Structure formats: C-alpha cells, structure tokens
Structure 1
Amino acid sequence: MNAAAPVDDTRAAARVRLRPTMSSDIEFVLSLEQDPANLPFITPWERTQHEAAIRFPDFRHFIVEGGPGLDAVGFVILIGCRSQHQSLELKRMVVRSKGEGFGRAALRTVKRVAFDSLGAHRLWLDVKSHNTRAKALYDSEGFVVEGVLRESVRTSDGFVSMVVMSMLQDEFAARRSQSLELVA
C-alpha cells in the first residue's frame, strides 16, 4: 500500500481529496471501470493489476473523495513515480458524477501531487480521440498535445487513436503564478 497521506483541497465548492487506495476499495474501482458510461473511454484493468498498483512503489493509486461528506467519487492512477526521468504518467482518472467539478478538482490536485510532492518534470497522459469531454478538460487545464498514436488501441468496434498530452513543471508554475491552479 502507498504510504502517502491524503491530499486535501478544501478551497472550492467541488471539495476533493485524494487518499491512497486500499484493498477494500478495489470493488468500487472495478465498478467504475465497468460502468457503461466509462467503458468507451478506458481500457479496464483486471483486479490483479489494481492490487499490484496499490503495492508497487512506482505507482500511486488514489481514491478521489469529494463533496460535503468526502464520499468516494472516483479514482486516479499515476505511474512513473520513481522515474529517473521525472516523467509521470496519469494512467487513469475516472469520476462517477460527471459535470459536478470533481474531475477538474481531482486533476488540479493530481498536478500538485505530481509536481510538488513527487518532483515531476513532466506529467503526461493519453486520451482516446473520441473522448472529447476529457480532451477538453485537459486542454483547458494547460496540457499540450504532443501527438497522436494512430489506431493504437483495439476495441470491439475496431481501432482507436490516442492523443498524447503533457504538461511540464515550468508550465505548471506559470499557471500557478497566474492563479490558474486554484481548485475550481
């Protein structure tokens, strides 16, 4: 299990906190991945992959807690936390309640964890090209498109392209100095 303490952000209406995922959270995580609203946009993992990610030091697997009661509203996985290249991947971010600000608040918290706590130079992700909602969020949050991995993921309907996006530490610092990194 990751020993990191919860990262709390209480400055916004969409109150969000990240806490390390525990084995008892795996059913919740799997249910979010299997939700028909999320399946078109992610490649679900098996239980053993999530269990390994909780234990492996190079990963950070978090439960996103939000709202007035800080209920579980999603999860986040970071990979490369011990990378000598200081390049972290936002492997997955899934929130249950869309349109309530939890995704944006969680993403901003993830950026602070990556750059401030884990010392990242670069935070990157890939997003399925048809996931316009997530792509728009990443665009609005300062991620830069690096390229497209054409038809790189096989689905039941054929192949899907992945858009690779990233943010560098100095870009994050510039956004912070412009007060663009406050939780929305």
Structure 2
Amino acid sequence: MADIKPSPPIRLRPTMLSDLDFVLSVEQDPLNLPFITPWERIQHEGAVRFPDFRHFIVEAGADYASAGFVILQGCRNPHHSIELKRLVLLPAMHGIGIGRSCLRWLAQMAFRDLGAHRFWLDVKALNLPAQALYRSEGFVEEGRLRESVKTADGYDSLIVMSMLADEYARRAEAAGR
C-alpha cells in the first residue's frame, strides 16, 4: 500500500492589485497555458475590484507561500449560480492536493457563505486531471461546448460541470464537513 501524504495546509486571501504580477506569471506559465484562457491585467483588476467576483491568492505550505490563485464569478447572481472561473496553481504545486483543498474551500464558500444553489465551472476537454478532480469532488457533467476555444493546435471543447446545494450538503454531511 502506497503512503498517502497529507496535502500542505492552505489558505485563501483576497488578491491585492500588488499581487497581479504574480497572477499573470502563473497564468502565463507554459505548463498552465494549454489549460486556461489567460486574461489581460485589466480583467484581473476588474475581478479584484468588482463585488460580483471573489479573487484570491492561494497560499500553501508551512510558510504559506503564494501557490496560485482562484476566481469566483457571479457572487451576486440573482439565480444563486456561482462560477468557479479560474483555479490556477504554480506547476510545482500540481498533484499534491492543493487543488483539491482549494476546491473544497471554494465549494464551502459558494454554498455556505454566498448562498449558492448551483456551483459550476467549465474545463477544457484536454484537461483530464482537472476533470477527474472535479468528478471526485461531486461535480456532474452537464454538457459540452464543442470546439469552442481556439488552441495552438486547432480547437478544444469545454465541458460544463456543476454541483447543486443539496448534493453539496449530502457530501459534506457524509464527510463530516
């Protein structure tokens, strides 16, 4: 049986405008670019300032060093449908449980703190590790936007996934969260 290491501790702190060089560098990392559609600085500035968004720096490890960033959108949506717009980590942080920890924090924030009825996201079809993570955390595929994003090699599809409040509540109760 393989040893399972616990993921490093994480925390989310609101992004400051002074963090945007870090945010842009994480987005522009060649290992992250195939999986996201990067934003301009002005888009991130808007997300930091506009109350419909929550833009956070992910800090991880014993020293809580910056490990990535996340964005929620639709925090004031009248239909209580909040989107996980972005979850991007430094490549060195991939595969060690930080993404899963972030996803759990964000789901709790969406459902418990922001009163979401639906928490949703889209993920590129080529991003199989992210899809597996989202499924393992209870997200359900709703559909595909076929060949909807241009890539260096042609086009990729977006898979729309979501979790509803009652599904989250059952999972949280079963996990003792």
TM-score, length-scaled by structure 1: 0.90
Aligned with 1:69: secondary structure? coil
Structure 1, unpaired ranges of 5+: 1-11
- Secondary structure at the counterpart of residue 14 of structure 1: coil
Which residue in the other structure is 2:88 paired with? 94
38, 49, 52: which is aligned to 1:44?
A: 38
SS of residue paired to 1:178: helix
Query: Which of the two has greater helix per residue?
Result: 2
What's the counterpart of residue 118 of structure 2?
A: 122
What's the CA shift string for 1:98-151, capped at 9, x where partnerless? 111110001100001111111101000000001001000001000000001100
The alpha-carbon deviation at position 158 of structure 1 amounts to: 1.2
**Aligned-partner residue type, residue 13 of structure 2:** R
Distance 1:176 1:40, change over 3 A: same
Tell me the residue number matched to 1:135: 131
Structure 2 unaligned residues grouped into runs of 5+? 1-5
Counterpart in 2 of 1:6? none
Q: How much has 1:14 moved relative to structure 2?
A: 2.3
Does 2:167 align with 1:171? Answer: yes
Q: Which residue, out of 13, 18, 26, partners 2:12?
A: 18
| 1:145-180 superposed Cα distances (whole Å, 9 cap, x missing partner) | 000110011122211100000000110100011117
Q: TM-score, normalised by structure 2?
A: 0.93
What RMSD over aligned residues (CA atoms) do the two structures have, in Å? 1.1
**In structure 2, what is the equivalent of residue 146 of structure 1?**
142
2:75 to 61, 65, 81: 81
**How has the CA–CA distance of structure 1 residues 94 and 155 changed in structure 2, closer, same or farther, with 3 Å as cutoff?**
same
- Offset from partner CA, 1:69-89 (integer Å, 9 cap, x none): 111111000100000000000
Deviation (angstroms), 1:33:
0.4
Taking the aligned partners of 1:105 and 1:95, their CA distance within structure 2 comes to: 12
Residue 50 (structure 2) aligns with: 56
Q: Secondary structure of the equivalent of 1:50?
A: helix
Q: Report percent identity of matched pairs.
A: 62
Map Cα deviations across residues 7-27 of structure 1 (whole Å, 9 max, x no partner): xxxxx6421111110011001
| Number of positions where the alignment pairs a residue of Structure 1 with one of Structure 2 | 170
User: 4+ residue stretches of structure 1 with deviation over 4 A?
Assistant: none
